[in-house]
Chains A and B, each alone.
Chain A
């Protein structure tokens, strides 16, 4: 197995978890729990470690579902911990200070969570979706034997890469990443789709230091884009990370095929967001770029806590930095002109 894959599986975020003040019933306040959270894991899976730490301080009565927040922002439990950290901490905070709640689950904002089972089903569903994207069907996942399913999940829970590789190779989820070779990408690269989840936040003002980056205080400030990257055979060898990110953000980086028409259009026309003809109204290919593309800048791209060079072959990224459910999670910060 690849060295990089091992590092990804071993990656962890040091967390400092505080009990929410409204739930503290003892004096002195219980000290925070210090936990090393696997990057590829999920926050609810840490509850068995966290709960005993605070059980003495909790008010009587049976607790609600556990949930976490970062600076008041309720955390989406089905997003891998490493992705949450890369997304919400522009300047990495170590340890990462989170607040845990045993009551008052915000069910109007967060999808319900019943502990490990919910996380497991979310994981399997994502795996199904990834399989469909890669192979055009999810038969291999749907037909997994019960013992295999259990072992696959266990391997993720325990961070056991060897066990994981053993089971997941049966699923035949090879993608274009498998064609990458160190000799510079010689040989055929197959055409295909790669499962990618993009988390995009935009800023309109430049900042030099990540410390100065604006805080994300609401999920509405993040565009979650669940769109596969399409790779076409001939260009596969030269397809960079930058190409991949731009290809799934057509609203900021219009396709090459449409740029010829667009360059001859007026500045004024760029203000119009929707062409007037009824029939064409919903055709995304004809929609002009919301921003002229030379004004949009990719400020930051973070995957598994690293900021790869944008020229890196995308196939390398896919082969080495994907999560166990076969999705590549990419956090992107874009600098865009002021929105009127």
Chain B
């Protein structure tokens, strides 16, 4: 990642590939009990994106942890296996269980990754936005209602020709800039690219209530 891009919080398409590669290796090693991220190729094998599908985000999640129970054949994203106990599991209404597909796609225009997602219920029916909104942490709901520029919109997936939800990228470089400048050590050791996605996802994931396992965060 060139110093200029680092300073701006953006990254090139090539760097995104490097960052994604590092992210997958790290995630799949450190968080082996979690569902794995995969790299999907598109556009004649030159462009690619990160994919995590069929993950469970229960609508009864709280801000500081996620309750999730594995559905049959579906992956679950548990904060820490020890924390989930049977008593909690019983209270989750199976009808309110929501599944999410997450794709992290590089945006050539803004030069940052962008999160695309879609949500569906246990019957595979797509969720309406107001149901998704209920899944969002309280601070996101507030930001959505306050903001002049809606930051979650329904747009066409860049490769799949289907409507997905997208988190608007135009503020990304600003807070990525802050994240990297906050840590001189990070900039100097030059591991900035490799950690870009962990840092990015720690913020973006927060918006949709996705928690990054602590072990991944320790690297930052």
Q: Which residues of A contact B (CB under 8 A)?
A: 76, 107-112, 125, 128-129, 132-133, 136, 138, 142, 195, 219-220, 223-228, 250-252, 273-274, 278-279, 281-285, 287, 290
Contacts and interface: CB of A to CB of B under 8 A. Distances in A.
Nearest to A284: B46
Query: Chain B contact residues: over half helix, strand or loop, or mixed?
Result: mixed
A108 B170 CA distance: 27
Contacts of B25: 278
A101 B44 CA distance: 35
A278 B21 contact: yes
Given A227-B108, A274-B41, A274-B45, 14 more contacts: A109-B162, A111-B155, A111-B163, A125-B153, A129-B110, A219-B161, A220-B161, A251-B45, A273-B45, A281-B17, A281-B39, A282-B20, A283-B18, A287-B46
A109 B149 CA distance: 25
B46 A133 contact: no
Interface in B32-65: 39, 41, 43-48
State which size class the interface on B falls in.
Answer: 20 to 34
Contact of B17 (A108, A111, A284): A284
Given A132-B170, A138-B170, A290-B46, A284 B161 contact: no
A251 B44 CA distance: 7
B156 A111 contact: yes
Contacts of B18: 279, 282-283
B154 interface: yes
Given A223-B43, A282-B17, A283-B17, A228 B108 contact: yes
Contacts of A281: 17, 21, 39
27 contacts: A107-B163, A108-B126, A108-B162, A110-B163, A111-B155, A112-B163, A125-B153, A129-B110, A132-B110, A136-B8, A224-B158, A226-B109, A226-B158, A227-B108, A228-B109, A251-B43, A251-B45, A251-B46, A278-B21, A279-B18, A279-B21, A281-B17, A281-B21, A282-B17, A283-B17, A284-B13, A290-B44
B20 to A, nearest CB: 6
B88 interface: no
Nearest to B174: A137
A225 B42 CA distance: 11
A262 B207 CA distance: 44
A274 B41 CA distance: 10
B48 to A, nearest CB: 6
B158 A283 contact: no
Contacts of A285: 14
Which of A111, A250, A284 has the most CB atoms of chain B within a 10 A radius of its CB?
A284
A103 B33 CA distance: 46
B154 to A, nearest CB: 6
A282 B13 CA distance: 10
B161 A133 contact: no
Contact of A195 (B21, B109, B149): B109
Contacts of A228: 108-109
A284 B47 contact: yes
A226 B153 CA distance: 18
Contacts of A110: 163
A314 to B, nearest CB: 18
B79 to A, nearest CB: 29
Tell me which of B14, B43, B44 has the highest count of chain A C-beta atoms within 10 A of its own C-beta. B44
A269 to B, nearest CB: 14
The 9 closest A-B pairs by CB, nearest first: A282-B17, A251-B46, A111-B163, A219-B161, A251-B44, A290-B44, A227-B108, A273-B45, A282-B21
